[in-house]
Structure 1
């Protein structure tokens, strides 16, 4: 079958070949020069840029011709599909080699250390604002270094395209230099800058690309969305007055488009269910099927799979597979029934009358031995080895026990008919009639009907029990919109397997602190007054390319705070002021993930609290600032989080006996009592005592206490009539438990001082290792903690700080890249599966880095599965029992948030975190 897109033919060539100079001077430079301060009669930056584009279009049509595609290849470098394999660092060093720039010069350091944000000086204000603009900086270096006589040479658009086509084939740096140096030597500096921008495939028409498509032809951008082909999008019509009909603007098989996406849950279940149950007017034929299927007040509940979103196109006996990011995976999954890791199993999967079809679904990896769907990262290797298997008889490939498994949840096209405007229940009804499932290879995804909050909660508990990704809830009448549209009738609900703070937040960047590694301040919009309140600063999780992308997207829009502060009606800062601020409408969205949320009030940020140990998960170019978390939504999240932290834990925990080095505990019964000094006390001794170069072990301390009449205990008995003394000089995970119960932690030296003086000494600050109430010692020492009675060494005289004050200092201190490894797992509770020696060693390793071991797995953040345990079947059975208990005990709030859910991870999670001195993403170390 032929389609509208198949019949597009190039228009006649232009009478005049446009020059590269025309593009740079009439389009690129003018767009780049738009600022708030030079808007003139235009109301917004976007309005002025749209005028520049329209004027350029009119000039091009009048003076050049109707074939704009050769120019478009340069105007949209990120969409044209050329692969140069030259990134910023490689290009910077190519320029060094090209112009033989000597080492230790400013130009050399600027380019060679580009990925380190090297900045030798700030000579001009424009340099500061465009510091990370490599095309601009490199073109300036080239301008100083090249030998240039006379005026710049003009290159036509065709000549530049030919050079770029040759650059695609040039793999060696010397070949690249021979191609580019003559061009760099003869273009104007502005043209060199834009050519570098094109080679780096950096977007030029940021945020205004739709104007360019639609000014050329009103249907231009829609054509692009259904095919993502620049040539067809600018050559389907030479007359902007000639409009396409609806059939021509429908999706076509074998032409790639971005699938529809789901929104994140942001409302209460009550509001959500009303929206999901909302019924729209329908044609009579749909109404009849709707009633026949008993869909009144119902909505779909589907499990969200951990795979790769994939669109399957079939036309005749040929296939295409396109990912959400428009990458073509047909070579991997198969282009015909004859070959491919998936298609070779689909000969009988379609009804005989199915000639052409487009299916939407999730490609996952299925392990037939474990009978389980594997994590996302294993999918590609499974597909590759399944494909290789058909070409070889080598036994090593038989070791691969997984293969691609396509789960289908929607049909978008069938036998020449675009189904995207049909209601979802109608599409699903068709889907079930035209497909014959191939078990664990090619199946329709399970869908159930729900009608209440209880139905959603039941499904969430099943997801947690099965350790799955989440849910997608869908209005049964929802239509399908392409181009990555987030449909509010599709809602994703993900139980977060995180730590204290179970949220990923989409936040707006409102400030910047430049450094070797830039920090970005994010804010929350207050719905009441419309202002953005400063909330947190994030500097972690960014790749070099992401720093570059942020700087490119916000290029020229930063304002120095010491020159001009933002109006409070727009942005409100706390005591922490960034170096630069940016208007939110000119900014971008970051997805931030945090280890914990600070529930105490503070003035550092205008919100009054902040996130700790945060990192950027990704730049959300698909999100507008109006889709981000608001101040009011955050307060609700914070309230739920605070309740979760203070929730009473009723399950009992057992104590883990200390792991001794293959020696027995000392026999305290044999110690003879020599004094009744400590008769009135019970001692719980938690650590050794290091006094200079001498170490007194816990065992020796216990015998010493026993010798002087004290009673040694291993736990606190609330019924005891004796006073309890907890002895330690180490910050152990269990210490916080005693502090929360109001018990002071005493240093071992107190025992020795009492013995030396022959009496029980009052507790001076010098003897206290930690307490939640330092104020009761105020009268016993000066402001530095120096006792008025007990002599203490000078190195012990320090200001007194409570544990909360110490925690705040530790969290707020800018450790940079040198945060002590000992704090790695601080305040993170773990449960380690099993009681083998290997399990105990893993527990000790976690505690060594300040982690806390929990014996009630419902209280922890991570459940760690040691590498060397029982058989996999036994381990999996135990994990399944634990998952069921977690799901049953989970608390689900009205807004869809849940109580903390432990995440099952492998031992490699601990090893990798220690190696990197950073908590790695648990999603990469899931136990399956």
Structure 2
């Protein structure tokens, strides 16, 4: 570098590196002086950054290939020459470590320019681009000068739709489709020389762009200096859709041992790179905690899908001396952290900052000070803190509160309410909707971190530091409990109030940043959906609400109609028994419809003269449990459809049982009161569900018993004693009923069975066995090897010998319901007559007309098929018209079952990539469309793909929030809906697959 190099201490810095360093000033929104003042010891690179092409070739592409490997199995395996083969996880770490090592050696210790491109969704310094797929597609069409009506132009602008060419396989992959289009007309074919720093500089300009003209200039620079593959990865960076299989936890940990810890307390890639550039220098204890005015990653609540209440309380680790745990209502809002410091230079003397769980700043919305007239919250907090409080950090939930009804409004319009409060600072303090900050934790107080203290101690500090402001800033209440029995009544209460659920907390626990653990457990009624049935019951009573709903019926008592036995014994046919009380799930229009249909028909309940002729309550006339405020004759009432978690015993209701966590689904205006559920009908339904539960419980035990029997039988076979009889367990089916077999040899792979095993299988399914072959009769001769007996029969001629795989195919097809016709693959040796008949049972390529072929068999068939191309252009419209003319509906074809579905797939776990690909193929093959952009208004179904119910629940919560503002909500279902629809060859009802 010689005389052309500047220096930083004793480290020579090239002119190129110095110029690249200056590029970062604007990128982080600071002048050189401010940057040097805040980070005086930040690292400087000695050389210019690597080429952007090195980033995708050495990191992105290898990680992408690594992601395709199966993740299961042992961590290490032996290679072909005895060498240890690394697991995919270890390979992934090696790829990242190699790139970091190269960067330190060839560039220097400032990894920030690269890391913000590797983790673009975590970069908080660069502003938003305001560009989605459609906008980028239009820019590329203009830039490359493609006719938008041409095939490539159409594919680029309609990237979500499958095309008629190779682009069809990239439908839904916008960056991949851009690569296909650009690679046909690139400015460069070889990788470009644009450095990572130069890419960041142009991305800063793109984020600061004021319109399409500026965007076009930036994209023109990229197009001229990058090849198609570079542009593909660049577009993924802009869209923040990398999905290379490496999480920020892995990347940060490999950059520095304390990288993840600092990111958890700061949410800043810049701090991680500039403060932790030397792996040998560890983070000080006080530096690894939360910091004022610096966003942190909050603790999250865990949930146990199948755990009982007893198990949940055990997970909270109670002790004999301290058996307590806390129960809080789970709020339906947005997780928020509030930072406050005394600042004499700020109007009002206090300064505030707000961040969401995802590190998005909302100070602009909720206010930065006590005199911020545009704030929707902080201007109301003049008296919210105790004297002597200089600074603090609060953790809580920002909810929308409706003052008119004095209750929380479901999440979805919180920001609208905050903006309304901003724009109307003089609005009434007792009406309308406003943001309310419900605080449940304090992590910092008067220059002291509190995360290392117990929740109980933190809550004591919170109560002393914060003075609640009515319906502006309040401390979230909790219930102290010591046993599992306390959970159900509270859960019933929150369900009745249409709330989210509960959170159980260990008061002895410390606060753990960016962690989801058993110290906080969330409980939702939907997690315990055992009953699963929608029940149609008649409304027999009503309860008045409070607040805005004072004087109005807000919840209802539902009953079971009297059974025929009671009627025959003289009971009033109109009598009903109290069954459950429901108040959750009703919309305003539901209340209005019920009011309209029952107006003037309600009668005030008189405890001294109860309407026993029509209604029977729990406890009888003496106690009258769950007594309603008003009652209605069943014939004048309405029928409601409800869903519940399960049925449980209760003396509060007439028949000694009730529904646990009932929730209103819809009004059944198509049903009259006398068609609603009766006691007798419900008992039958309950019995059926109990039997199904017992069957499920017995499945594992039965499998174990069958396994033991199978092992016993195979132990006899393993003795190679041909005289030992095969154990016969009794008939399993009648598929071979009336057929006589002579098994002359064992069967070979893939249906490998001994002769005795084959005979046992035949007998178990209704067939009879003969040890003497009789050609010319109806006896079926079975063989897979040319043993002496078989060779002798073949030499004599005129004999048909069938392969054992025919037995397997008969049993596998439709559960073994009928014997299949013979096909060519079933014939070991056959007469010309049987060969001709067998040829008629499969198509010219060997695909069976009578049975489903396996995947492997289908591969073999396709591999042997001749390849030809039709010169006629396929017309979808003409094809559909021909189907209708021939009287075949589209629903009869598996290839059309998803034809009206637009599906967005959401991976609950990165490990489920193979399952996601399979489900995506099902949808596309069956006429549906899969999209990668959840902003697409055409989406009909959002499918959560995964095996882990906890991760599915988290993914569903996230998706539900993003969809909450839509005018038309897509259905939120599990991946099993696609699998079962494919299996049944029709769209099955989504209700039982709904992710709640």
User: What is the TM-score normalised by the length of structure 2?
Assistant: 0.49
- Residues 128 and 207, structure 2, Cα contact 8 Å, conserved in 1: yes
Q: Measure how far apart 1:68 and its partner are.
A: 1.6
Q: 2:520 aligns with which of 483, 486, 490?
A: 490
Q: 2:376 aligns with which of 323, 341, 346?
A: 341
Alignment of 1:491-640 (within 5 A): 491-495=521-525, 503=526, 640=530
Q: 2:61 aligns with which of 25, 29, 35?
A: 29
Q: SS of 1:176's equivalent? A: helix
- Residues 461 and 887, structure 1, Cα contact 8 Å, conserved in 2: no
The yes-or-no answer on 1:367 pairing with 2:402 is yes
- Residues 187 and 227, structure 2, Cα contact 8 Å, conserved in 1: no
Distance change in 2, residues 1:914/1:200 (3 Å): closer
Distance change in 2, residues 1:7/1:352 (3 Å): farther
CA deviation profile, 1:333-385 (whole Å, cap 9, x unmatched): 11111122222222222122222211111222233333333332332222222
Alignment of 1:8-19 (within 5 A): 9-19=41-51
CA deviation profile, 1:695-748 (whole Å, cap 9, x unmatched): xxxxxxxxxxxxxxxxxxxx9999999xxxxxxxxxxxxxxxxxxxxxxxxxxx
Structure 1: where are the runs of 5+ without partners? 281-290, 496-502, 505-636, 655-714, 722-828, 841-852, 864-885, 922-928
Distance change in 2, residues 1:225/1:101 (3 Å): same
CA deviation profile, 1:722-775 (whole Å, cap 9, x unmatched): xxxxxxxxxxxxxxxxxxxxxxxxxxxxxxxxxxxxxxxxxxxxxxxxxxxxxx
- Residues 503 and 521, structure 2, Cα contact 8 Å, conserved in 1: yes
Alignment of 1:824-863 (within 5 A): 833-834=593-594, 836=596, 860-861=641-642
Q: Distance in 2 between matches of 1:492 and 1:23?
A: 41
- Residues 831 and 860, structure 1, Cα contact 8 Å, conserved in 2: no
Q: 1:474 aligns with which of 505, 524, 545?
A: 505
Q: Measure how far apart 1:50 and its partner are.
A: 0.9
Distance change in 2, residues 1:457/1:199 (3 Å): closer
The yes-or-no answer on 1:900 pairing with 2:662 is yes
The yes-or-no answer on 1:303 pairing with 2:329 is yes
Alignment of 1:156-235 (within 5 A): 156-203=195-242, 205-235=244-274
Over the aligned positions, Cα root-mean-square deviation in angstroms equals 4.5
Q: Distance in 1 between matches of 2:284 and 2:657?
A: 48
- Residues 891 and 899, structure 1, Cα contact 8 Å, conserved in 2: no
- Residues 13 and 67, structure 1, Cα contact 8 Å, conserved in 2: yes
Distance change in 2, residues 1:153/1:645 (3 Å): closer
Q: Distance in 2 between matches of 1:246 and 1:358?
A: 19
- Residues 75 and 204, structure 1, Cα contact 8 Å, conserved in 2: no
- Residues 495 and 661, structure 2, Cα contact 8 Å, conserved in 1: no
- Residue equivalent to 1:403: 434
Q: SS of 1:425's equivalent? A: helix
Q: Distance in 1 between matches of 2:115 and 2:965?
A: 46
Q: Measure how far apart 1:243 and its partner are.
A: 0.8
Q: Distance in 1 between matches of 2:195 and 2:511?
A: 43
Q: Measure how far apart 1:11 and its partner are.
A: 1.6
- Residues 492 and 660, structure 2, Cα contact 8 Å, conserved in 1: no
The yes-or-no answer on 1:62 pairing with 2:95 is no
Structure 2: where are the runs of 5+ without partners? 1-35, 72-76, 343-349, 543-561, 569-588, 601-633, 645-649, 670-963, 974-996
- Residue equivalent to 1:925: none
Q: 1:88 aligns with which of 118, 133, 142?
A: 133
Q: Measure how far apart 1:85 and its partner are.
A: 1.2
- Residues 50 and 208, structure 1, Cα contact 8 Å, conserved in 2: no
Distance change in 2, residues 1:650/1:454 (3 Å): farther
- Residues 8 and 232, structure 1, Cα contact 8 Å, conserved in 2: no
Q: SS of 2:205's equivalent? A: helix
Q: Distance in 2 between matches of 1:479 and 1:160?
A: 43
Q: State which drifts further: 466-475 or 154-163.
A: 466-475
The yes-or-no answer on 1:75 pairing with 2:118 is yes
- Residue equivalent to 1:356: 391
Q: Measure how far apart 1:134 and its partner are.
A: 2.3
- Residues 890 and 898, structure 1, Cα contact 8 Å, conserved in 2: no
- Residues 63 and 246, structure 2, Cα contact 8 Å, conserved in 1: no
Q: Distance in 1 between matches of 2:655 and 2:414?
A: 33
- Residues 538 and 638, structure 2, Cα contact 8 Å, conserved in 1: no
Residue correspondences, number: 548
The yes-or-no answer on 1:133 pairing with 2:173 is yes
Distance change in 2, residues 1:13/1:109 (3 Å): same
Distance change in 2, residues 1:144/1:494 (3 Å): same
Q: Distance in 2 between matches of 1:474 and 1:304?
A: 11
Q: Distance in 2 between matches of 1:271 and 1:173?
A: 58
- Residues 858 and 902, structure 1, Cα contact 8 Å, conserved in 2: no
Q: Distance in 2 between matches of 1:353 and 1:421?
A: 22
Distance change in 2, residues 1:906/1:259 (3 Å): farther
Distance change in 2, residues 1:891/1:720 (3 Å): closer
Q: Distance in 1 between matches of 2:406 and 2:88?
A: 56
Q: SS of 2:145's equivalent? A: coil
Q: Distance in 1 between matches of 2:59 and 2:409?
A: 49
Q: Distance in 2 between matches of 1:257 and 1:158?
A: 27
Q: 2:531 aligns with which of 609, 622, 641?
A: 641
The yes-or-no answer on 1:312 pairing with 2:342 is no
CA deviation profile, 1:655-702 (whole Å, cap 9, x unmatched): xxxxxxxxxxxxxxxxxxxxxxxxxxxxxxxxxxxxxxxxxxxxxxxx
Q: 1:376 aligns with which of 399, 404, 411?
A: 411
- Residues 28 and 204, structure 1, Cα contact 8 Å, conserved in 2: no
Q: Distance in 1 between matches of 2:91 and 2:114?
A: 22
CA deviation profile, 1:172-197 (whole Å, cap 9, x unmatched): 33432222124213322221221122
Q: Distance in 2 between matches of 1:46 and 1:892?
A: 55
Q: Distance in 2 between matches of 1:330 and 1:413?
A: 19
Distance change in 2, residues 1:448/1:50 (3 Å): same
Q: Measure how far apart 1:265 and its partner are.
A: 4.1
Q: Distance in 2 between matches of 1:354 and 1:364?
A: 25
Q: Distance in 1 between matches of 2:484 and 2:503?
A: 14
Q: SS of 1:386's equivalent? A: helix
Q: SS of 1:16's equivalent? A: coil
- Residue equivalent to 1:454: 485
Q: Measure how far apart 1:425 and its partner are.
A: 1.0
- Residue equivalent to 1:332: 365
Alignment of 1:415-454 (within 5 A): 415-454=446-485
Distance change in 2, residues 1:6/1:355 (3 Å): farther
Distance change in 2, residues 1:905/1:47 (3 Å): farther
- Residue equivalent to 2:87: 44
User: What is the TM-score normalised by the length of structure 1?
Assistant: 0.53
- Residue equivalent to 2:867: none
The yes-or-no answer on 1:118 pairing with 2:162 is yes
Q: Measure how far apart 1:650 and its partner are.
A: 9.4
Distance change in 2, residues 1:918/1:427 (3 Å): closer
Distance change in 2, residues 1:335/1:914 (3 Å): closer
- Residue equivalent to 2:313: 273
Q: Distance in 1 between matches of 2:967 and 2:361?
A: 36
Q: SS of 2:183's equivalent? A: helix
Say which one has the larger Rg: 2
Q: Distance in 2 between matches of 1:319 and 1:277?
A: 37
Distance change in 2, residues 1:95/1:400 (3 Å): farther
Q: SS of 2:442's equivalent? A: strand
Q: Measure how far apart 1:170 and its partner are.
A: 2.7
- Residues 598 and 636, structure 2, Cα contact 8 Å, conserved in 1: no
CA deviation profile, 1:791-822 (whole Å, cap 9, x unmatched): xxxxxxxxxxxxxxxxxxxxxxxxxxxxxxxx
Q: Distance in 1 between matches of 2:520 and 2:212?
A: 49
Q: Measure how far apart 1:269 and its partner are.
A: 1.5
- Residue equivalent to 2:885: none
- Residues 537 and 641, structure 2, Cα contact 8 Å, conserved in 1: no
